[in-house]
With several copies, the nearest count.
Chain A
Amino acid sequence: MSTKRKVYLDYVATTPVLPEVLEAMLPYFGDVFGNPQSLHFWGERAREGVEEARGQVAALVNGVAEEIIFTSSGTEANNLAVKGIAQGQVAKGKHIVVSAIEHFSVLHAARTLEKSGFEVTVVPVDNYGLVDPDEVAKNIRKDTVLVSIMHANSEVGTIQPIAEIAKVVKEAGALFHTDAVASVGNIPVDVRQLGVDALSLAANQFYGPKGAAALWLRKGVRLIPLMDGGVQEGGRRPGTENVPAIVGMGKAAELALKEMSQRAEKQRRLRDRLIAGILSAVEHVILTGHPERRLPHHASFCVQFIEGEAMLMLLNNEGIAVSSGSACTSRALKASHVLIAMGIPHEVAQGSLLFSTGLDTTDQDIDYVIEKLPPIVTRLRQISPLYARFLKERGG
């Protein structure tokens, strides 16, 4: 690709590690390299690092340190929650409820549970990607042990009414997990206020390192571990702790908590400019997800008559990095199950385009995108038989 301006607008895919975070991590590769389980000076210092991070991560979601189980990814946290909690409650029943727009680490984990005799109910979402708490309530049965509904969706940005859903789940006597991977660190998340029993979060969504994530699990909730092995994380997640990454997650959590509102405010402003700019500069574009109840750094669209991967490639050629939920951009060649669940036709879902801003995003970046996107859309529409047909039908 050419050496033009480079604009990263794919922060929901992953964020860079902040310099302060990396700095906090560095000693743990060198001097403080010990194994936290070791009974000596090196082990002790590593353990202190991990335990400090546990407190910092707990604070970010208003939990307590002992309720944090560190994992290696949001995917692992979700698998641990869904499989671990469901399997921990089999004495009570074998029914779980998830939404249609969950990340695959929840949705497919539920499918895997079906193979061992669980029943899974998938509740729908509306056109904005919202789950209706009443719909959840309606689907909870006597043998429902777990409901898992995500906090924010990373493809359309929609934020669910988790507190309301948690309330109906609690009243019905089931446990409630929320995948908050896309939200924690970006918007306030308080496990007590939300009233959930388990919550997944991942460091690389808030300027912490890859390889560190966590499940917050309310004290007393029974959990069958995914893995067997040593005594790390109270035996619930064995394996040598990824100390530097955990320490980095702690630091990133601390910073995210401190800077939350100013970060969000800046993101919201840039994001709103981007949305307004694109909607006015390009015809036949739909904003996907909820217009207000959405992540502050999130702007997602469907551009009609053209396909997402082609747009990605041409944007990339201009130095702009975004993502898409089109079939062609997925390894499985299926359009985003999220967009389809929201009632968007396959043809339209093909034009999915997803921008997410971050701490390094500038007004110039937004201007650049608003300048570069329209000719790309025009160019692809000129090749598109769907657009030609549309023009003919409209014209004639």
Chain B
Amino acid sequence: MPMYSDKVMDHFMNPRNVGEIKDADGVGEEGNPVCGDMMTFYIKVKDNRLEDVKFQTFGCGAAIAVSSMVSEMAKGKTLEEALKITPSVVAEELGGLPKNKYHCSNLGAQALRRAIKDYATKKGLKLEGLEGEEHEEAEEN
């Protein structure tokens, strides 16, 4: 599958942080069945940090790799830092995504953002970087 970078292949073949967190502090879902990729992110927060991040993904190789990468990048970060993980940052970190895969598969960052939002809403927090565009317009790479 040459249109995927080695990094994508690695995260697809060996996805990190797969699963559900039963007593998650926040849950976020993203995706749509027409495009075909759907992701659920679970977060556990301690001292404003993402103590644990897990995900479940229905979707293509890129979607799975993106989710894995996002979970890895997010883990241990503060909420504010985690909100800075954008689709383009993820794509870059993965060594690029095929052009036509960018929009649909690259929803991991949004799913994570939704999970953080879920947490913030429950806690009544106002977080910097959470307002504004829910869907960053993904740039082509």
Contact = CB atoms under 8 A, between A and B. Distances in A.
B9 to A, nearest CB: 8
Contacts of B59: 307, 310, 328
A344 B58 CA distance: 17
Residue from B12, B29, B36, B57 with most neighbouring chain A CB atoms (10 Å): B36
Contacts of A382: 18
Contacts of A44: 1-2
Given A313-B1, A313-B12, A328-B104, A383 B57 contact: yes
A331 B33 contact: no
Interface residues of A, number: 34
Contacts of A13: none
B12 A383 contact: no
Contacts of A307: 36-37, 58-60, 63
A383 B36 contact: no
Residue from B34, B38, B58, B100 with most neighbouring chain A CB atoms (10 Å): B58
Interface string B60-101: 111110000000000000000000000000000000000011
Given A308-B60, A316-B1, 13 more contacts: A44-B1, A48-B2, A307-B37, A307-B58, A310-B59, A317-B13, A327-B35, A328-B62, A383-B57, A384-B57, A385-B38, A385-B58, A387-B58
Interface of A: 39-40, 44, 47-48, 305-310, 313, 316-317, 326-329, 331-335, 345-347, 350, 382-388
29 contacts: A40-B1, A44-B1, A44-B2, A305-B58, A310-B59, A310-B60, A326-B36, A327-B34, A327-B36, A328-B37, A328-B59, A328-B61, A328-B62, A328-B63, A328-B101, A331-B100, A333-B36, A333-B101, A333-B104, A334-B34, A346-B34, A350-B58, A383-B15, A383-B57, A385-B29, A385-B40, A385-B56, A386-B58, A388-B20
